[in-house]
Homo-oligomer: A and B are copies of this chain.
Amino acid sequence: MAQVEKLSSSKCFEGYVCRYSHVSSSLGNLEAKFSVYWPPTTKVATEKQPILYWLSGLTCTDENMMMKAGAQRICSELGLILVCPDTSPRGSGIPGEDDAYDFGTGAGFYVNATTPGYSQYYRMFDYVTKELPQVMENNFGVKSSKKSIFGHSMGGHGALICSLKLPGEYCSVSAFAPISNPVQCDWGKKAFGGYLGAENKESWRDYDATELVKKGCRFPKEILIDQGTEDNFYKQKQLLPENFQQACQSTGQPVELRYQEGYDHSYYFIATFIEDHIRFHAKALLS
């Protein structure tokens, strides 16, 4: 496995925010960047600690969470490692990949693409669930078996499907304003059509949290979701958390969907409730 290169390091709440680059086999051997917050008690490469994975939303990179959410204060206090991958491969050269904010670059949707061109590069599901944990274990000696996952919007969708498709892999899962039923919304239809094929709608269900729950996938603990009531994308029916909640209720999957009055889709919403979510994950990771 190719070694990771450290691009930058900034001390933050006694720990360090570090940005790394590596050649990713899941992403067609393109260069991939990711960011890690190392809490102060982490002894890199000697002590093994649990990891919290954060998946960002459309147009984001590995840096948004670190810069905007204020998560480091709490991860520092609790001694949690926070890992933030990018939201897509970059620079594949596929024609049109940079043309839209909601497809291609910055919009990988955490699936393994099967369509011509994309299937070679856009394998974010494998990247997030297999390659990146392996990179963390091989390069930094942290235990890959103890991990949790959360995310925002497209990344909330990502967190939900990763945890539902791989039971036993994650200790806990939560999401902010997740795209909860992508086969039913415009964002999801466009992305899944492009990455999985317009004709292969049956395969779309394998990357849809609501459909996965309906099919019988289960996460063994309660899933936590926060949704702002003034979120324009929620109002436009791009997120559909109510569909996910309904599927959970009718199949016995525990979920807590909290509607947060007046909050929108921005990182100001995430920053407000990030402490809640991290402490929720800490309970599962540190117990």
Contacts and interface: CB of A to CB of B under 8 A. Distances in A.
Nearest to A266: B10
A143 B70 CA distance: 30
B67 A267 contact: yes
Q: How large is the interface on A (under 10, 10 to 19, 20 to 34, 35 or more residues)?
A: 20 to 34
Contacts of A66: 268
Interface string A1-16: 0000000001111100
Contacts of A17: 268
Chain A interface main SS type: mixed
A227 interface: no
A135 B38 CA distance: 43
Interface string A225-263: 000101000000000000000000000000000000011
A72 interface: yes
A228 B271 contact: no
A264 to B, nearest CB: 5
A17 B264 CA distance: 11
Contact of A70 (B70, B230, B264): B70
B67 A230 contact: no
A11 B72 contact: no
A268 B12 CA distance: 5
A68 interface: yes
A262 B40 CA distance: 12
19 contacts: A10-B263, A10-B264, A10-B266, A10-B268, A11-B262, A11-B263, A11-B268, A11-B269, A12-B272, A13-B271, A14-B272, A66-B268, A67-B67, A68-B68, A70-B70, A70-B271, A72-B268, A72-B271, A73-B271
